Amino acid sequence: MSQAQPTRIIIQIDNHSFDVTEYATKHPGGAHVLRRYHNRDATEAFNHVRGHHDAYVQDLMEKMEIKDHPPCDSPIGRH
């Protein structure tokens, strides 16, 4: 039996939450990479990828950031 895919994909990087659902199919590493970090802190993995701190990526992240979202590891932040 396969695990159900989340409707939304929310990840956390540097204590900021991001809804990456719409971007998932465009992600160079594939949507499965983002799903792996759904409701989890992806900071370490994010920081290990070259290019993630480029202006293009930072602009995308700014657009996907969820303001006032509780941390993913808190019970309130889990979806």
**C-alpha to C-alpha distance for 78 and 54, rounded to whole angstroms:** 29
Other C-beta atoms closer than 10 Å to the C-beta of 15 total 9
Predicted local confidence at residue 78, as pLDDT: 45
Task: Give pLDDT tens digits for 10-24.
Answer: 999 999 999 999 999
pLDDT of residue 9 exceeding 50, the answer is yes
pLDDT confidence band for 51 (50 / 70 / 90): confident
Q: Which two tokens stand for residue 29?
A: 């590493």
**Structural domains of the chain, ranges and CATH numbers in brackets:** 10-69 (3.10.120.10)
CA 30 to centroid of chain Cα atoms: 12
pLDDT confidence band for 79 (50 / 70 / 90): very low
* DSSP state at residue 77: G
The letter for the amino acid at 38 is H
pLDDT of residue 75 exceeding 70, the answer is no
